[in-house]
A and B are shown apart, each in its own frame.
Chain A
Amino acid sequence: MSPAARDLLQAPDFSSWTCPAPLRDQPRVVMGHGGGGAMSAELVQHVFAPAFGGAVLAQLGDAAAVTLGGVRLAFSTDTFVVRPLFFPGGCIGDLAVNGTVNDLAMSGARAAYLSCGFILEEGVELSVLGRIAEALGAAARAAGVEVATGDTKVVEAGHGDGVFINTAGIGLIPDGVDLRPQRVVPGDVVIVSGEIGVHGVAIMSVREGLEFGVEIESDCAALGGLVEAMLAVTPDLHVLRDPTRGGLAASLNEIAAAAGVGVVVQERAVPVPPPVANACAILGLDPMYVANEGKLVAFVPREHAEAVLAAMRAHPLGAGAAVIGEAVPEHPGMVVARTGLGGTRVVDLPIGEQLPRIC
């Protein structure tokens, strides 16, 4: 051992063991601002919401519930920047439909009309654009929604990533349906509609050229029909979320925080398909934080839970539905997992994007 090391170890001077200054105040946008976690929330909270104002925006839901001419509408927008444009199980076209349809569905609304804005990078092949448009149209027809208006812009080569799509949508909220986290109460049962983490791992496998033994297909799907089936059992669902960016963990945390309740998840009850679990284990990711595109999480009054679960399982998009936990009065705002071995852990809001670890 060098004399310097020996000195350090034998006469510890803890004041010299220090760490760098925090980087909370990023002067520029970084990738984490779009990750659907704490950084995204801060951007909305500190930049957008104060600038825009408005009581409706303050709901901060996936879709805004607005009343227009005495009619309750759900209104939502989403922008899609996925790379690669085509991936196992879908492409940016059907993603752009299903994403907005699902945001509307989470407020109980069946999407009626969509707008569709394309930002195209100079040089994109028209055949590629055609395939995306076909997929987008097919997804809209499958979801029972009409693309009613649209827009196209082209940016110079190098200023985009091929194709970006923005969609906005409106739909009617049925009478008696009032889905928002503030309605969640302790005792509510937490149900997911199926296996989680599939979309995120499917994208990662093609984007990074990773192979996990079997091809993993995105779960990209429109959830309006599933939500209708659930509401047919009872309109008294408390809240629905589609756990996209930030995964199940982000959705549960957002609901816990907005509802002022704690959430307890039984870790072994969370359905994770083996290829996703394997991929996550290899990369050091937690499936709870991986994005989904065709799943929802529901907080349901306990007395309706069994019937709602049965209705979900009877629907093709809810066949793998499972109860994963409950809302509790303790630790409000916090999500806690009961581990398979019997310990407990906090399931935090992700900060930005999950990063594969070094080893």
Chain B
Amino acid sequence: MKYIDEFQDPELARRLLDDIHATVTRPWALMEVCGGQTHTIIRHGIDQLLPDQVELIHGPGCPVCVTPLEVIDKALEIASRPGVIFCSFGDMLRVPGTDRDLFRVRSEGGDVRVVYSPLDALRIAQQNPQQQVVFFGIGFETTAPPNAMTVYQASKLGIRNFSLLVSHVRVPPAIEAIMQSPSCRVQGFLAAGHVCSVMGVGEYPELAERFKVPIVVTGFEPLDILEGVRRTVRQLERGEHRVENAYQRAVRPEGNPAAQAMLEDVFEVTDRAWRGIGTIARSGWKLSERYREFDAEQRFSVSGIRTLEPAACRAGEVLQGLLKPHECEAFGTTCTPRNPLGATMVSSEGACAAYYLYRRLDLNPAPARLEASPLV
């Protein structure tokens, strides 16, 4: 399949792996920022194929995982109200709030709908003028522009029954926060290609220089990841710390100016809480003054939210790369995707879910008969 098959080619992967094995002389710890990268790594077993000296630390880049519980509880509260159509991307529906999730709200009579584009939510608003339509706007620089576009369109078209519950976050301040943590072990970053395709790479040279870390922009297919690892390791072995773009088929240095303009028009940078990590200065977006009327939190005056998080889960450490999912006592026992203690286990991009879904076998006796049978 064009654009996918060629980035999963086993022969090319073998060559990249050989190069990485030949380059590495000592241990290095690299962080892949995005949950999509984490899933590619674990799903294809890339971490099993890398030299033992190359450790991949899983970063905080899962938008579902880092959305604060308080925001999820606000979503549940708004979605429960009569006269509200609550629209969300699918993977938020199963994320537990304090005492329920959006699926449960729907089973209790709430009008919760899965959409594939925020503009679908706007269309629903146009079709249901008597009802309030709310879109759950979460995610990184990737989902923020289309969500901003929705508000822009709503304003332009005079659609007053639409609003956005905003919890958008930005990657560079998170990288900065991780590097400033005294317990940080990260020596190089695989930056998220889709974020850079929007924002460009302009925010990274200063970070690479300040923290003396190589930052390599990578895509999401197995060969993208391997090429990112190869370039990062090569820099580390040479004592370099530059920004490299290994995802040139999607990322231009300047990013997508139109998307950036949309973000600048509709949003303004704000301090933002990250679930499991805490508040990071200037790490998020909120609606700018001009569009404040489309802010669901204001429109529904959601207050008095009391979150309750029992102390069983160590997702915060996982999100900061301080703990591998399987090193948590609850992993695979009291915490599974069916019975999640934390968002990192329930989210489709969460590191814990990736380990549980794809790597659980490693915790059991290794399979002895994985060789291809003559018929395969």
| CB-CB under 8 A for A359 and B139, given A1-B177, A19-B343 | yes
| CB-CB under 8 A for A9 and B339, given A339-B43, A357-B349 | no
| Stretch of A24-32, A68-76, A94-102, A171-179 contacting B (4+ beta carbons < 8 Å) | A24-32
Q: Which residue of B lies closest to A28 (CB)?
A: B107
- Chain A residues lying within 8 Å of B92, measured Cβ to Cβ, are 358
Is residue A306 contacting chain B, with contact meaning CB distance below 8 A? Answer: yes
Closest chain A CB from B194 CB (angstroms):
7
Is residue A18 contacting chain B, with contact meaning CB distance below 8 A? Answer: yes
Structural contact, A351 and B101, CB atoms closer than 8 A: no
| CB-CB under 8 A for A357 and B89, given A30-B106, A339-B45 | yes
Chain B interfacial residues counted at CB < 8 A: 93
| CB-CB under 8 A for A18 and B279, given A9-B177, A358-B143 | no
Instruction: Please pick, from B45, B91, B279, the residue contacting A342 in the complex, using a CB distance under 8 A.
Output: B45
| CB-CB under 8 A for A356 and B114, given A23-B101, A326-B373, A346-B357 | yes
- Chain A residues lying within 8 Å of B358, measured Cβ to Cβ, are 345-346
Closest chain B CB from A41 CB (angstroms):
11
- Chain B residues lying within 8 Å of A331, measured Cβ to Cβ, are 361, 364-365, 367
Q: Which residue of B lies closest to A353 (CB)?
A: B90
Interface residues of A in 31-54 (CB under 8 A from B): 31-32, 38-39
- Chain B residues lying within 8 Å of A264, measured Cβ to Cβ, are 367, 369-370
Structural contact, A351 and B337, CB atoms closer than 8 A: yes
Interface residues of B in 66-83 (CB under 8 A from A): 69
- Chain B residues lying within 8 Å of A55, measured Cβ to Cβ, are none
- Chain B residues lying within 8 Å of A17, measured Cβ to Cβ, are 276-277, 313-317
Bound CA–CA A8/B183 (angstroms) = 12
Interface residues of B in 346-376 (CB under 8 A from A): 348-349, 356-361, 364-365, 367-370, 372-373, 375-376
Is residue A277 contacting chain B, with contact meaning CB distance below 8 A? Answer: yes
Closest chain B CB from A137 CB (angstroms):
35
Closest chain A CB from B375 CB (angstroms):
4
Bound CA–CA A338/B10 (angstroms) = 12
Is residue B127 contacting chain A, with contact meaning CB distance below 8 A? Answer: no
Structural contact, A22 and B340, CB atoms closer than 8 A: yes
Structural contact, A336 and B89, CB atoms closer than 8 A: no
Is residue A328 contacting chain B, with contact meaning CB distance below 8 A? Answer: yes
| CB-CB under 8 A for A20 and B4, given A1-B177, A189-B375, A339-B44 | no
Instruction: Please pick, from A10, A19, A26, the residue contacting B315 in the complex, using a CB distance under 8 A.
Output: A19
Structural contact, B361 and A336, CB atoms closer than 8 A: yes
Is residue A269 contacting chain B, with contact meaning CB distance below 8 A? Answer: yes
- Chain B residues lying within 8 Å of A28, measured Cβ to Cβ, are 104, 107-108
Bound CA–CA A27/B369 (angstroms) = 43
Instruction: Please pick, from B143, B314, B370, B376, the residue contacting A324 in the complex, using a CB distance under 8 A.
Output: B376
Bound CA–CA A38/B29 (angstroms) = 37
Instruction: Please pick, from B10, B36, B106, B173, the residue contacting A359 in the complex, using a CB distance under 8 A.
Output: B36
Instruction: Please pick, from A9, A14, A325, A343, the residue contacting B46 in the complex, using a CB distance under 8 A.
Output: A343
Closest chain B CB from A217 CB (angstroms):
18
Q: Which residue of A lies closest to B8 (CB)?
A: A340
- Chain A residues lying within 8 Å of B337, measured Cβ to Cβ, are 348, 351
Bound CA–CA A38/B367 (angstroms) = 24
Is residue A266 contacting chain B, with contact meaning CB distance below 8 A? Answer: yes
Is residue A201 contacting chain B, with contact meaning CB distance below 8 A? Answer: no
| CB-CB under 8 A for A328 and B367, given A5-B278, A346-B358 | yes
Is residue B333 contacting chain A, with contact meaning CB distance below 8 A? Answer: no
Instruction: Please pick, from A19, A32, A306, A352, the residue contacting B342 in the complex, using a CB distance under 8 A.
Output: A19
| CB-CB under 8 A for A344 and B103, given A20-B342, A278-B1, A357-B348 | no
Q: Which residue of A lies closest to B115 (CB)?
A: A208
Closest chain B CB from A83 CB (angstroms):
13
- Chain A residues lying within 8 Å of B370, measured Cβ to Cβ, are 264, 336, 338, 344
Q: Which residue of A lies closest to B143 (CB)?
A: A359
Closest chain B CB from A27 CB (angstroms):
8
Interface residues of A in 110-166 (CB under 8 A from B): none
What 1/0 flags go to B81-96 for Cβ under 8 Å of A?
Answer: 0000000011111101
Structural contact, B140 and A359, CB atoms closer than 8 A: yes
- Chain B residues lying within 8 Å of A269, measured Cβ to Cβ, are 376
- Chain A residues lying within 8 Å of B99, measured Cβ to Cβ, are 20-21
| CB-CB under 8 A for A334 and B361, given A17-B315, A30-B103 | yes
Is residue A316 contacting chain B, with contact meaning CB distance below 8 A? Answer: no
Is residue B219 contacting chain A, with contact meaning CB distance below 8 A? Answer: no
Structural contact, B114 and A345, CB atoms closer than 8 A: no
Is residue B13 contacting chain A, with contact meaning CB distance below 8 A? Answer: yes
Is residue B304 contacting chain A, with contact meaning CB distance below 8 A? Answer: no
- Chain A residues lying within 8 Å of B250, measured Cβ to Cβ, are none
Bound CA–CA A1/B179 (angstroms) = 12
- Chain B residues lying within 8 Å of A262, measured Cβ to Cβ, are 367
Bound CA–CA A99/B177 (angstroms) = 54
Bound CA–CA A9/B89 (angstroms) = 30
- Chain A residues lying within 8 Å of B322, measured Cβ to Cβ, are 12
Structural contact, B177 and A5, CB atoms closer than 8 A: yes
Bound CA–CA A274/B364 (angstroms) = 34
Can you name 18 A-B pairs with beta carbons within 8 Å?
Answer: A19-B341, A21-B96, A22-B96, A23-B101, A24-B338, A24-B339, A28-B107, A31-B106, A32-B94, A38-B338, A264-B367, A340-B44, A341-B13, A348-B356, A355-B91, A358-B92, A358-B143, A359-B194
Q: Which residues of B contact A (CB under 8 A)?
A: 1, 4, 8, 10, 13, 36, 42-49, 63-64, 69, 89-94, 96-101, 103-104, 106-108, 114, 116, 138-140, 142-143, 173, 176-177, 180-183, 194, 222, 271, 276-281, 308-317, 322, 337-343, 348-349, 356-361, 364-365, 367-370, 372-373, 375-376
- Given pairs A28-B104, A269-B376, A356-B90, 20 additional interface contacts (CB within 8 A): A1-B281, A2-B271, A9-B277, A17-B314, A17-B316, A18-B311, A20-B98, A20-B342, A24-B338, A27-B104, A39-B338, A208-B116, A331-B367, A336-B361, A338-B372, A341-B8, A342-B49, A343-B49, A345-B42, A357-B89
Across the A-B interface, give the 10 residue pairs with the lowest CB-CB distance, nearest first. Answer: A343-B45, A17-B316, A19-B342, A8-B278, A19-B313, A355-B90, A345-B358, A18-B309, A28-B107, A20-B96
